[in-house]
């Protein structure tokens, strides 16, 4: 009885024996070795929706096809970020201060730079999480895509806090 693993079996199926020597039947590099899909999939779509192999779950695998609900979550995060920026500017106009030192730096450069920096930093973070959404956070059993929920909850709590501060400003006036 021959007990090959699935990996050894597929490896042996792609090797041709000719004159006692082994030759690889495949042409070109093994496309499965790369976890990053080709750039054409970013523009024209692809088929990778989830990780299928258990061995791929241990590393970082980048998908190239995303659901509409995930798109809605991303748009929600970006909108909440912009609402946060506008409300922060309103509160600063009424005497509040920015306690985040990074955003305070951009605020010192001007309001347009502040809003642009907030949007760009949020967008970069969302793209990074999107690319590794099916990977697990290091030393945890938590998938990276759960960070989207954390981002929405965080922005929602900040906006609720800012609404309360605006209400307090109006009540004082």
Burial of 141 (0-12, 13-18, 19+ CB in 10 A): exposed
Model-level pTM?
0.64
pLDDT, tens digit, 9 for 90 and up, residues 41-58: 555 555 555 555 565 555
| Whether the Cβ atoms of residue 159 and residue 84 lie closer than 8 Å to each other | yes
Q: 82 phi and psi, to 5 degrees?
A: -70, -40
Q: Residues near 14 by Cβ (< 8 Å), separated by ≥ 6?
A: 24, 25, 26
pLDDT in tens, 58-100: 555 555 566 788 889 999 999 999 999 999 999 999 999 999 9
Q: What does the domain layout of the chain look like in residue ranges?
A: 69-172
């Amino acid at each position: 009885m021959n007990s090959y693993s699935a990996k050894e079996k597929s490896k042996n199926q792609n090797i041709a024996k000719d004159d006692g020597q082994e030759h690889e039947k495949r042409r070109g590099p093994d496309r499965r070795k790369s976890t990053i899909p080709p750039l054409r999939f970013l523009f024209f779509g692809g088929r990778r929706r989830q990780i299928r192999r258990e061995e791929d779950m241990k590393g970082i695998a980048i998908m190239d096809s995303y659901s509409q609900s995930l798109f809605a979550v991303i748009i929600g995060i970006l909108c909440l970020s912009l609402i946060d920026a506008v409300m922060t500017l309103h509160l600063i106009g009424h005497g509040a201060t920015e306690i985040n030192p990074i955003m305070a730096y951009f605020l010192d450069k001007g309001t347009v730079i502040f809003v642009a920096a907030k949007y760009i930093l949020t967008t970069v973070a969302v793209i990074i999480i999107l690319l590794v959404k099916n990977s697990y956070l290091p030393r945890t059993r938590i998938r990276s895509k759960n960070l989207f929920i954390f981002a929405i909850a965080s922005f929602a709590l900040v906006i609720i806090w800012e609404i309360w501060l605006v209400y307090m400003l109006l009540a004082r006036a």
